Chain A
Amino acid sequence: MAYTASNISRAEPKINQSATQVIESADFKRLVSLRWTVSMVLLALLFVTYYGYILLIPYAPEFMTTKIGEVTTAAIPIGVGVIVVAFVLTAFYVGWANKSYDPEVERLKNTLRK
């Protein structure tokens, strides 16, 4: 039988009452959707920053080669800026998760143990 192996290795879904309640609770659903909203907004900002930079090079060469100092081109601080923005977005996510996500996770986990 083709399915024998998979049935052995795949544990039966064991959802007790309170687990089902947590999964179906409005709080849990809100938490999951908030987590992905935050992620996707930050990811969108990352895409705009990085691909914006990549596309500025072929589409706005005059802007990128503008001298902002004696010889320094605009492209130099912009390149460094992309790296800094990437780090700031990561830091923002960690800050948000520590402050808002984790306490809610703890609370929901506690309702589960009851």
Chain B
Amino acid sequence: MLTSARQLLDLAAQAADYKLGERNNTALLFFFIIVAITLVITYWAAKKTKTSSEFYAAGRSVSAAQNGLALAGDYMSAASFLGISGMVAMKGYDGMVYATGWLVGWPALMFLVAEPLRNLGKFTFADVVAFRLRQTPVRIASAIGGILTVLFYTIAQMVGSGNLIKLMFGIPYLWAEIIVGVVMLAYVLFGGMLATTWVQIIKACLLLFGVSLLTVLVLVKVGAPTDLYAKVAHEYGQKMLEPGALAKNPLEAVSLGLALMLGLLGLPHILMRFYTVPDAKAARKSVLYATGLIGYFYIIIPIVGFGAAVLIPGGQAAIKAIDAGGNMAAPVLALTLGGTPFLGFIAAVAFATILAVVAGLTLAGASAYSHDIYVNVIKKGKATEEEQMHAAKRATIVFGIFAVGLGILFKGQNVAFMVGLAFSIAASANFPALFMSIVWKRFSTQGAVAAMLTGAFLSVGMILLSPTVWVDVFHNASAIIPLKNPCVISMTASFIVGIVVSLLSPDPLAQAKFEDEKLRTYLGVGAE
């Protein structure tokens, strides 16, 4: 099974080498231009990044529109761009169901946590959970949930990126991982949040521009979207335009939907973006910008996918020959429509996308350690500015090395379950505790710790016993837990455990502080 997968990959690489051949040079040229521009920005940002507030939160000086673009940049990963266009090209409508799921978390983020988060926190979401509770246990539990989420998300990005870069640029997997690691570390280490924000902004603009251009070129060639659908139905049958296998099991579909929607509200690298804006009003506006940009992206990306299926010579079979998962649909479409320079551009955009997302994740992982564990637990909140910055940079380097190492270690693994894990842990460990700490007066230290640990370990455990790992990875005949995504159970359990334990262990001081906290939560009084 494993050898056949490897053979397939080799075959795909050979096919890519054969088909993409010397075009690699164009792609590399575009890539170096993009990296050079972003490094200049990092150099400029580095001169401004001196305090920990500048390192983690860009001095809280990012505007709402900039933050909206950066949020979109953080969220629209290569998985969204290459994965969804590929899924639409190969499977048709089902790809659109995914696209919808990736968007609906944003309004929920706005209604439930965006503004309170900005008003209560400083650098990480743990600031909000720990606001009126006992610091040490809550910070440690939040860091476990936060780091686990970021780690699984990072592994998925690194493994995916290694394969993609190997296919597109012809660079060996190992080198691809190391290049991503080194360039990403340069952004984060020297420029901190300010450089990372600008890298996200540039990447979001490039990605939106690239996908828009692909869409326009497809429509110029084919006509209106209805003409495109007609062509698709003519070549591959009406089934391509109908929802299929994805939502056959309603409980599974709802569980996946919950993980996608509420997982967003627990993703540490997204949540820490809200501290880069000056106030809650800007936080709110930035969510609107992000929702608009990401919504636009997900509305047009299926056109790219359908376009790839009908415009690439050889259609689905040709796309599949290059990459079995269909991930190369958009780049090959670019080659078909605009020749090698356009392929080079799209390949470079995909690379920049991976780089930027990994940079955001590394910053979030590093801050979970240095701010929550080092400063607040080890140093009891009494670290000097210098010590904080040193801890942050040390943590960044360690996290970066870990990211590259894990990317190499997990080579060839199924990345889908790691993304599923990241979203499940985020929705089950981080979101319930964050939400209850904002709205529920009687939430206690013990309740918070119990909720976070229950959510984290239950979702990890249930995924290990689910078909994605128990059957696909360990090759057992049937799964112990039939659900592919455990969110509906693990998130509910986290809420119930948090409520029951809080009621059993009342914390009068925390309840007294809740009233004080309200002025800050709703009016922004005392917010940093």
Contacts and interface: CB of A to CB of B under 8 A. Distances in A.
Interface of A: 3, 5-6, 8-10, 13-15, 19, 22-23, 28, 31-32, 35-36, 39-40, 42-43, 46, 50-51, 53-55, 57-59, 61, 64-65, 69-73, 75-76, 79-80, 82-84, 86-87, 89-91, 93-94, 97-98, 102, 105, 108-109, 112
B209 to A, nearest CB: 20
A10 B135 contact: yes
Contacts of A65: 242-243
20 contacts: A8-B381, A9-B381, A10-B135, A19-B516, A22-B519, A43-B107, A43-B111, A51-B257, A54-B253, A54-B254, A55-B253, A71-B229, A71-B230, A72-B229, A75-B242, A76-B93, A83-B299, A94-B287, A94-B288, A105-B524
Contacts of B136: 5-6
Main secondary structure, interface of B, reads helix
B135 A87 contact: no
B518 A23 contact: yes
B96 to A, nearest CB: 5
B100 A83 contact: yes
B505 to A, nearest CB: 14
B135 A76 contact: no
A83 B103 contact: yes
Nearest to B233: A71
A109 B523 CA distance: 7
B512 interface: yes
A11 B99 CA distance: 45
B97 to A, nearest CB: 7
B135 A32 contact: no
Contacts of A28: 518, 522
Chain B: interface size category: 35 or more
B295 interface: yes
The winner among A23, A40, A54 for most chain B CB atoms within 10 A is A54
Contacts of B106: 86, 90
Nearest to A109: B523
Contacts of A55: 250, 253-254
A57 B107 CA distance: 22
B93 A109 contact: no
Interface string B62-106: 000000000000000000000000000000010011011101101
B111 to A, nearest CB: 4
A71 B238 contact: yes
The winner among B232, B242, B254 for most chain A CB atoms within 10 A is B242
B4 interface: no
Contacts of A98: 281
B240 to A, nearest CB: 9
A40 B101 CA distance: 20
Closest 5 pairs (CB-CB, A-B): A57-B247, A6-B134, A71-B233, A39-B111, A57-B243
Nearest to B249: A58
A6 B376 CA distance: 11
A46 B516 CA distance: 31
The winner among B111, B112, B376, B524 for most chain A CB atoms within 10 A is B111
A82 B93 CA distance: 14
Given A35-B522, A58-B250, A15 B515 contact: yes
B111 A50 contact: no
A50 B247 contact: no
A51 B251 CA distance: 11
Interface in B203-230: 226, 229-230
A39 to B, nearest CB: 4
A69 B242 CA distance: 13
A98 B232 CA distance: 45
Contacts of A80: 299
A76 B288 CA distance: 24
Given A23-B518, A51-B254, A51-B257, A90 B298 contact: no
Interface in B234-277: 238, 241-243, 246-250, 253-254, 257, 261
Contacts of A53: 100
Contact of B107 (A14, A19, A46): A46
Contacts of B226: 69-72
B390 interface: no
B23 interface: no
Given A5-B380, A9-B135, A97-B284, A83 B253 contact: no
A39 B518 CA distance: 17
Contact of A46 (B108, B246, B249, B376): B108
B182 interface: no
A10 B133 CA distance: 8
Contacts of A76: 93, 96, 229, 241
A83 B98 CA distance: 11
A59 B249 CA distance: 10
Contact of B250 (A13, A35, A59): A59
A39 B509 CA distance: 28
Contact of B380 (A9, A54, A64): A9
Contact of B97 (A51, A57, A93, A97): A57
B104 A75 contact: no
The winner among B106, B135, B291, B292 for most chain A CB atoms within 10 A is B291
Contacts of B108: 43, 46
Contacts of B132: 10
A86 B519 CA distance: 29
The winner among A31, A87, A91 for most chain B CB atoms within 10 A is A87
Nearest to B510: A10
A98 to B, nearest CB: 8
A64 B242 contact: yes
